[in-house]
A and B are shown apart, each in its own frame.
Chain A
Amino acid sequence: MEGNSTETRPQAANGASTNGSSTDKQTLYAVLQYLRKNNLKETETLLKKEANIQDDDVPKEQQSQNASEVSQALAAYKSEGDPSLYEDFYTNLKNFVEQSLDTYKGELAALLYPVFVQMYLELIYNGHEVAGQIFFIKFSQEQESYYEDDLIKLSTVSKKEHMQGNQLMESFRTSRFVIRMSRESYTQLKRYLQEKKQALLLNIIQERLFIDVYDGLPRTKQQIDVTSGGMSGEARREANKSKVLYGLLKEPDINISLDDDDDADGEDKDKPKKKKQKKDLLSMKKSKNDPNAPSNTRIPLPELKDTDKIEKANAYKEALKRVKITQENKPSICFYTLLNSYENTTSIEISEDSSILSAGFSDAVIKVWSTTPNKLRCMKTGVELDMIDKDVDDVLERMMDDRTASEYKTLCGHSGPVYSTSLSMDKNFLVSSSEDGTVRLWSLLTWSNLVCYKGHISPVWDVTFSPHGHYFASASHDRTARLWATDHYQPLRIFAGHLSDVDSIQFHPNSNYIATGSSDRTVRLWDVLGGNCVRILTGHKGAIHCLRFSPDGRYLASAGVDKTILLWDLANGTLVGQLKGHTGTIYSLSFSRDGSVLASGGMDNCVKLWQVSKVFNSQDSEGDLNVPANVDLNENYEFGSYQTKATPVLCTHFTRRNLLLASGPYTPS
């Protein structure tokens, strides 16, 4: 360490001699210009390379960015980066924020964290390790508590060598930190920067930050806190400008089943019609021509088979018997406890019709249980199948081998913990994702592995089937989400953009969009058709472990490590609700079938019920995108909380009749 400090000291002295007067804005300006002139002769070629220097009247340290690739540029960069200056500048900025008017204070304070991070990184990058650490210790305590995780990660980076290959670093250096600010606040900031002429600071703010200026009232600290927390700041407003066709497919279920029933099975004709009438009576508002709905052919969807239609018919029948859940009429919860799992259970999933429960374990096994008296059966062998008369009505029933009936089946094939399973709509397939980087497709007729999808190179955290079948999507540690089709061994789309692990993934009810939640604390919505990101939703303060679309497709609920559920309006990408109350990581969300109630469960061994219809009702009018979210986020929507004995809740699921199912492994301490 002696070597280091002696190295840094002369530089410090140098810096002091050149920049000692630089606190005075005019002199600084002059000196920097002079330096640039002087250096031009020596590093003329370099500066040509750095062609993107802007000819503003204030000099910029463009080198830092290019230097990450060009090490020769380091020398020039070093001479300017006097470590003591960083501290002064940061303190100066802090004082400015503190002394500014209360109205602007909140927005201006948002600058402090990114500036702090960038200054620290520059210090470290330029080898001022000691100065960097002192800087870190001095100011890291003042940062917002929700950046704690990143700060811990940042503190591990104490040498230039560490910066390479560090995920957090990459995201800080490659993407700009977004700060949303009202025009008034921005004017304040501009004035301050012009007065002070602190090259360092100006460089950071101009090059590393993106200040998204809007016309309107400055937001309060509280309002800012609600939407900040993302690894790269808030979402730019342009990012959420594009239109999202969040409506459901044009009554796809009913229309298709109706039409097809008319064409195909005549005997079912009157049945669905009746259903349709009753269906309209239900609270599900299904206008005939929803302007927000994508056309049914926007992405190719598989045609419904006869069995699917029967299933749909059953679903409608069941839906008619649905109970309405209100504050007075609370739901019943049936809890499926996994016993003797020894902290091995990594995921639990219940099929849409609530008849099958699948669980993934850390010993690479998947177990599938039947929750109904109908046992799970295997299909007969080929020879036996040949002998079946194919024209019989109950041919499907005859295909199954009763001798193989059992309460549960085990699927072996993965070589690492199974982090997620998902059942297809027709209950014929199951996809699973594992630590071994593969996604596997299993047949629930033969109970065997059909396809192994290799594409992700790191653990695959989550996988989900499209509500229309055929497609499924996976989310991985490699920071991508991928869209697959069961008949392609390669992904159809790769959704890249998240700055950290993609922890959770969910299909929109209309299958045209995919939502992903990530460790970079943002939720993104991707268009399946174009593969582009159409929404970036910031506000979470921790990794996002579960996502769920409301049944009408307009809202999205997300939750995770930060123990908070956030509700988003996809129409304009605004935050509409914040549900606090859990005391552990939330691993499961589920909307009731009518969308009025949200159930959540997590590591705090608790199932909670939230009256989200209240939130949505207050949001019916389309909000103005330019006006920041101004929702009363402190209102308490919780109306039920049910503790289990010692069972984390890994899965919640509403049956078609709105009975709540929940499941988890019993883990006594």
Chain B
Amino acid sequence: MADPAKVRSAKKHSILSHESMKAIAESVGVSGLQDEASLHLAEDVTYRLKMTIQEAVKLMQHGKRRKLSPADIDNAFKIQNVEPLYGFNAPDFVPFRHASGGGREVFFQEEKELDLQDLINGALPKIPLEVSLKAHWLCIEGEQPAIPENPPPVSKDLQKLESIDPSIKASNDKLQKPKPLAEIARAKHKAKDLVKMKQHATHELSVEQQLYYKEITEACVGADETRRSEALTSLATDPGLHQMLPRFSAFISEGVKVNVVQNNLALLIYLMRMVKSLMDNHNLYLEKYLHELIPAVLTCVVSKQLCMRPDVDNHWALRDFAARLIAQTCKNFSTSTNGIQTRITKMLSATLQNEKAPLASHYGAISGLAELGPEVIKAFIIPRLKIEGGRIKSLTEGALVNSVDRISGDHIKTQLVKLVSPVLKTIRKPPDSVEEYKEEYGFLGNLLYLSVTKLRQQPATTSSQSRPTVTLTQQKPQLLVQTSLGSSLPRTPTTPRTFQTSSSLINRTPGTPTTPGASQKYVILTQGGSSTLTSVSGSFTPTQTVVRVVTNTQSAGATTISTSTPKFLVMPGSQNTGNNNNTNT
């Protein structure tokens, strides 16, 4: 049968080899099986096996499964009046091991010896969870509600497709809705003009979505912590958010701009938590909005000032949190074409190298860089240790020490020691000497030496430091309302330097994958009276981002955004060039 066996297609006609017959025969104590006999056996066993499998497939189908299980084979044996195999369990993967010798190759399943004592004394396996019944609406009058129990209405792939080619969305919309007459007329007009126009993708929100947006944004920045966590969970899990994503992105971006100027630490923290939730939502195609989110997050990492009282408030936690967000962004979205990680690293190291930048910014830059991994620490932080040390020394031990500088210096010092020591431990060979450390790292040498030697003594497993959890103690959030404009702005608005860096970061490297062509983006946020939020975008491009906030003109100077939500976010005077200085034209 060997010749036809070769000819047969493997799918339908695979057959057991007579060598395996011999091996199996030996394993049950029959030696010297004749070739002829083993050939016949092989054929017959193959036939019986195939029959068994055919029966087992029936059992699988009736068991409503896609996967054949050992129980199916057992039951198939039972149907055929064959004694089933005992003691086979069903691990997902059956590891076969290979052994060869004496010119034969054998695959076998390793059977480990088990100590019964261990089995008896060992902890019992967990009881599987009880089967439970849960009801939800799969569809309501033909519409599938966007709830976590249902699949996302627009899959991530489709979102991506739409972001690359907005015309897909436009055409999809058109398929669903009949074209209004005006549009047809316009189309005719267009055809006459023979000008190739890009199709506009409109983002219209339904009334429910507007309500949801309002509720969520209110809850996220409101005073009620339980509502906030609910809202954040909703952001992190709900499948149907992609329609509102541009708004959330704008909300966060604008919110950060405003609140950095206002030094409102609490709100900045809330906004960062929103970013975190959005990033955790697997159903969202976030790439399209990174050009808004990254600058906002980076601002919270390296901004000169993030709170009213830098000496008291814990803005360090915010910087750490935002730094982790940045690291997560890099991990999730960085590709060789958009080079997010490179650009972020460049920007952070530029801050670190800027002698004039305040210590707080340096702290942020160090945290941000450290989150990107030990390689980054090695390349960007360690060479700066000496300079940084000198700076801290001069600021904390000099004659004119103010408390802010002293606290900042301490924070950087502890942060540096904490972050750098594990890396130093791996790159430096023992024995360590204090003198060498002092020689190489200056002011911080002594501390680093102590920390590294301490680390060396600890067992390797415990050396990884536990990350601080994201519990942020913060002052009561202040809602900035337009009327409180005057009172809440006693300080001179500090120009957030970081916006320049972040925008320049984007300006320098054009052509992220989400940027087809270069044009401008307008976010038009209408007044509260109109019911729909309409953002008309030619195409989304971070290369030349112009954020124009179109509002009512009666509030001269003060510019409000997002008027469909309560006005708790206030744009400072338009003379504040820090917000809009990245206008390129």
Contact = CB atoms under 8 A, between A and B. Distances in A.
Q: Do A and B bind each other?
A: yes
Interface of A: 1, 3-4, 129-130, 133-134, 137, 140, 151-153, 155-159, 161-162, 166, 329-347, 357, 359, 361-362, 367, 369, 371, 407-408, 416-417, 419, 435, 458-459, 461, 477, 501, 503, 519, 543, 545, 561, 585, 587, 603, 607, 640, 642-645, 648, 650, 662, 665
Given A339-B132, A640-B142, A334 B137 contact: yes
B64 A347 contact: yes
B2 interface: yes
A333 B149 CA distance: 13
Nearest to A646: B151
A340 B131 contact: yes
Contacts of B50: 156
Nearest to B136: A335
Contact of A343 (B9, B39, B67, B142): B67
Given A133-B8, A543-B58, 9 more contacts: A133-B13, A156-B46, A156-B50, A159-B47, A346-B62, A367-B131, A459-B62, A607-B138, A645-B151
A342 B128 contact: yes
Nearest to A603: B66
B132 A644 contact: no
Nearest to B51: A156
A338 B133 contact: yes
A129 B15 CA distance: 15
A596 to B, nearest CB: 15
Given A338-B132, A503-B62, A644-B151, A330 B47 contact: no
Interface in B132-182: 132-142, 144, 149-151
Contact of A644 (B69, B71, B150): B150
A477 B58 contact: yes
23 contacts: A133-B4, A134-B7, A155-B13, A159-B43, A162-B47, A166-B51, A329-B141, A330-B141, A330-B142, A331-B139, A331-B141, A334-B136, A335-B149, A336-B134, A346-B62, A407-B133, A416-B75, A417-B75, A501-B58, A587-B64, A643-B150, A644-B150, A645-B149
B132 to A, nearest CB: 5
A361 B64 CA distance: 10
Contacts of A152: 12
Nearest to A133: B4
A160 to B, nearest CB: 12
B110 interface: no
A416 B136 CA distance: 31
B54 interface: yes
B546 interface: no
Interface residues of B, number: 50
B128 A340 contact: yes
A337 B135 CA distance: 6
Q: Is the interface of B mostly helix, strand, loop or mixed?
A: mixed
Contact of A603 (B39, B59, B64, B79): B64
Contact of A345 (B1, B64, B151): B64
B112 to A, nearest CB: 25
A330 B62 contact: no
Nearest to B3: A1
A367 B130 CA distance: 11
B139 A157 contact: no
A340 B132 CA distance: 7
Contacts of A140: 12
Contacts of B208: none
**Interface pairs A-B: 6 shortest CB-CB:** A330-B142, A335-B138, A340-B129, A333-B138, A156-B50, A333-B139
B482 to A, nearest CB: 44
A519 B151 CA distance: 33
Contacts of A501: 58
Contacts of A367: 131
A652 to B, nearest CB: 11
B508 interface: no
A156 B46 CA distance: 8
B546 to A, nearest CB: 40
B47 A158 contact: yes
Nearest to A323: B141
Nearest to A131: B4
Nearest to A343: B65
Given A337-B134, A339-B131, A642-B138, A458 B64 contact: no
Contacts of B149: 335, 337, 645
B44 A435 contact: no
Contacts of B65: 343
Contacts of A561: 61
Contacts of B83: none
Contacts of B573: none
B158 to A, nearest CB: 13
B47 A419 contact: no
B75 A435 contact: yes
Given A334-B138, A362-B63, A644-B138, A134 B4 contact: yes
A344 B4 CA distance: 42
B131 A1 contact: no
A291 to B, nearest CB: 39
B113 interface: no
Given A459-B75, A645-B149, A335 B135 contact: yes
Nearest to A416: B75
A585 B58 CA distance: 12
Contact of A332 (B1, B141, B150): B141
Contacts of A133: 4, 7-8, 13
A151 B12 contact: yes
A507 to B, nearest CB: 20
A459 B61 contact: no
A477 B4 contact: no
Most buried by A among B64, B139, B141: B64
Contacts of A153: 54
Nearest to B65: A343
A332 B62 contact: no
Contact of A369 (B47, B79, B133, B141): B133
Contacts of B1: 1, 4, 129-130
A643 B154 CA distance: 12
Contacts of B128: 340, 342
Contacts of B136: 334-335, 337
A98 B128 CA distance: 61
Given A330-B139, A330-B141, A642-B138, A357 B64 contact: no
Contacts of B79: 458-459, 477
Contacts of B13: 133, 155
A583 to B, nearest CB: 12
A340 B130 contact: yes
B36 interface: yes
B548 to A, nearest CB: 40
Given A156-B47, A459-B59, A332 B132 contact: no
Contact of A334 (B62, B69, B135, B150): B135
Interface in B436-495: none
A329 B66 CA distance: 35
B214 to A, nearest CB: 27
Interface string B53-85: 010001101111111010100010001000000
Contacts of A371: 133, 135
A58 to B, nearest CB: 33
Contacts of B67: 343
A339 B134 contact: yes
A361 B8 contact: no
Contacts of A130: 1, 3-4
Contacts of B64: 345-347, 587, 603, 648, 650, 665
Nearest to B58: A501
A338 B67 CA distance: 19
B133 A335 contact: no
Most buried by B among A129, A156, A159: A156
A411 to B, nearest CB: 13
A545 B61 contact: yes
Contacts of A346: 62-64
B12 A155 contact: yes
